[in-house]
């Protein structure tokens, strides 16, 4: 098994491409070791000293390390954990499909606007963000403000504010006049 690695805009996060499907649908975010028991692979990765976050996409795994830990010291152990996991035959997520994440539900008077927001996120934003090893999902819409949840390499990334304000906010405001601002939320 050959696992490729790619850097991300977040210097604390690397993207690992195992050359096979990681999740059939959705994404799974483990911003801390809490909750990692839902995934044998996430649990294995959190067993590597210095790992502080794990994120799964369709064909990639992003791993975030703690500040002060050098990639040269943790990358070999992470590669070993990913390789061991896929060779073991264990599922990535335990139970029935695990915990794929996605957009929050939204009912109410703005449901048509919210559907437009989700459509733009799914077609224009999420594919680009996945290239960087992360995901951005809709969390809410209130009085013109769109609340988005940043995951994987996007969480705590130095350029995430710029991405939100200059990229996503401008895109949404251009296509949807009801949108006035975009803000990040921590879940």
**Mean pLDDT throughout 80-103?**
80
What is the reported pLDDT for 129?
A: 85
Separation of alpha carbons 56 and 1, rounded Å: 18
Residue 173 has pLDDT above 80, yes or no: yes
pLDDT, tens digit (0-9, with 9 covering 90-100), for 15-34: 999 999 999 888 899 999 99
Residue 100 has pLDDT above 60, yes or no: no
Cβ(133)–Cβ(15) below 8 Å: yes
Going by pLDDT thresholds of 50, 70 and 90, the confidence category of residue 1 is: confident
Q: Tell how strand 181-185 and strand 145-152 pair up.
A: parallel
What is the reported pLDDT for 98?
A: 45
pLDDT, tens digit (0-9, with 9 covering 90-100), for 37-74: 999 999 999 999 999 999 999 999 999 999 999 999 99
pLDDT, tens digit (0-9, with 9 covering 90-100), for 135-146: 888 989 999 999
Backbone phi, psi, residue 172, to 5°: -65, -40
Going by pLDDT thresholds of 50, 70 and 90, the confidence category of residue 101 is: low
What is the reported pLDDT for 83?
A: 96
- Pair of tokens at residue 90: 């264990």
Residue 99 has pLDDT above 60, yes or no: no
What is the reported pLDDT for 187?
A: 65
Question: Other C-beta atoms within 10 Å of 4: how many?
Answer: 10
- Pair of tokens at residue 42: 């996430």
Separation of alpha carbons 34 and 128, rounded Å: 28
């Amino acid at each position: 098994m050959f696992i490729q690695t790619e850097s991300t805009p977040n210097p604390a996060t690397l993207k690992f491409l195992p050359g096979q499907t990681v999740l059939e649908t959705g994404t799974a975010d483990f911003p801390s070791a809490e909750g990692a028991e839902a995934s044998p692979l996430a649990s294995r990765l959190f067993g590597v000293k210095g790992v502080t976050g794990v994120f799964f996409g369709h064909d990639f795994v992003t791993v975030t390390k703690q500040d002060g830990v050098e990639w040269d010291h943790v990358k070999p152990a992470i590669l070993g954990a990913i390789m061991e996991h896929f060779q073991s035959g264990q599922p990535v997520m335990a139970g029935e499909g695990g915990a794929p994440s996605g957009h929050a539900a939204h009912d109410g008077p703005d449901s048509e606007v919210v559907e437009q927001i989700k459509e733009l996120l799914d077609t224009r934003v999420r594919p680009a963000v996945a290239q960087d090893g992360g995901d951005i999902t809709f969390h809410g819409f209130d009085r013109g403000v769109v609340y988005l949840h940043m995951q994987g390499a996007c969480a705590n990334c130095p350029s995430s504010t710029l991405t939100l304000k200059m990229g996503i906010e401008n895109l949404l405001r251009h296509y949807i006049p009801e949108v006035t601002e975009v803000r990040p939320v921590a879940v």
